[in-house]
Amino acid sequence: MLLQNKKIAIVGGGPGGLTLARLLQQKGADVKVYERDESQEVRAQGATLDLHFESGLRALEEAGLIDAFKANYRPDADRLRVVDENAKIFLDEHHEDSTSSFGDEWFRPEIDRGPLRNILLDSLLPGTVVWDSHIVAIEQRSAEEAEHSWEIIFQNGNTAAADILIGADGAKSKIRPFVTPIKPFYSGVTVLEGNIPDAEKNAPKIYGLLKGGKIMALGDSKTISVSAKGDGSMDFYTGWNVDANWVTGSGIDFKNGKQVLEWFKKEYASWDDIWLELFEVEGTVFTPRPQYCMPLDQQWEAKPDITLIGDAAHWMPPYAGEGVNMAMLDAVELSESLTSGKFTDVQSAIAHYEKQMFARFAEIGRDTLNNTEFMHSPEGLQKLLAMFNGQPNERPVPG
């Protein structure tokens, strides 16, 4: 076996990294996942995720976890309403009979990120995830210097050694610079995200419009996306065209809800007052996120003992719902390359995986950037509705 007697370190305990750990452990590999969170419960996990037949759901099938997923997903949470800035409904899936189910290639069931993470964590051998592993340095060692190729040094003073290092540590990956110097570029759009607890009480009008599903609102070259969560809260994301340095140059204290509300009233001045509910709840944590994308034609020479998956490999905006699905499919294809027996050395297996990953990203990244651009254009609503009419199952929503 290609991985026999090799220690594998996966940096990052998101869905991609945990899926890869599960798939490799099924093949008997020695795997550790190093996650910067102090524990499994230390923070709330993010938005709802829609998993796709050919990627996220395929990964769960191959990991033997589809039954656990079926027990935890949220039926009908994928139902979408497309509205304009005045909350006028132009597309309403709540009035449609559900025609999709597991096994249907267009079925995209929703699950909250927290339950998905728990399913994956529960599938791993005890001690697989090493919590409180905030990396401060990584050192590559030669055979003369050390038994293992990589030494990872953590903020808490611990260290770890590995023969193969896999970066699953997201957009600001500390592993990526060891693989490639290629940098991302700014997409032109910044997102401001937040969460409303007890949405029925705190944002009753939007809660009623949401109906436990999703909202996409478009108008004046701007967007607002809202998703219901299983805990009764709802996540929201505003998106608009702005300079890449807006976050630091705006002068806004994003911990000050009143300042954020005043900004929203000015930036979204043409939007109906219903959307103010998203910004009037005291204590809301607002997180600005400029949206970057890796070059669609990125390539690099495969290394003998290090590679990347997920956003660490192909960071892109969220306007295609492909982020988590791409990461989980990366996990499938990398695990297959490393354990199939088709390759005589790890570098060849990594090269095979990366070739597939580059090709997928070039296509999906292009579609994502197209969605990002047209949704934040004056004709965004009309173009989105035309897309749904032509391809009703292609859903360009964050997820």
CA distance 328 to 256: 36
Is 30 assigned a ligand-binding role in the annotation? Answer: no
Is 311 assigned a ligand-binding role in the annotation? Answer: yes
Decide if 305 contacts 150 (C-beta within 8 A).
Answer: yes
Q: 32 in helix, strand or coil?
A: strand
Alpha helices (runs of H) in 286-379, residue ranges in sequence order: 311-314, 323-339, 346-375
Q: Are strands 234-241 and 222-228 parallel, antiparallel or unpaired?
A: antiparallel
Q: How far is CA 191 from the centre of its chain?
A: 14
Amino acid at the residue 376: H
CA distance 22 to 217: 38
DSSP string, 51-78: --TTTHHHHHHHTT-HHHHHHHSBTTTT
143 dihedral zone (left: phi>0; alpha: psi -120 to 50; beta): alpha
Decide if 159 contacts 152 (C-beta within 8 A).
Answer: yes
Is 253 assigned a ligand-binding role in the annotation? Answer: no
H or E segment and range at residue 288: strand 287-293
Beta bridge partners of 189: 241
Is 43 assigned a ligand-binding role in the annotation? Answer: yes
283 dihedral zone (left: phi>0; alpha: psi -120 to 50; beta): left
DSSP 2: T
What is the longest distance spanned by two Cα atoms in the chain?
68
User: From the annotation, which residues make up the binding site for NADPH?
Assistant: 43
User: From the annotation, which residues make up the binding site?
Assistant: 43, 50, 113, 311
User: From the annotation, which residues make up the binding site for FAD?
Assistant: 50, 113, 311
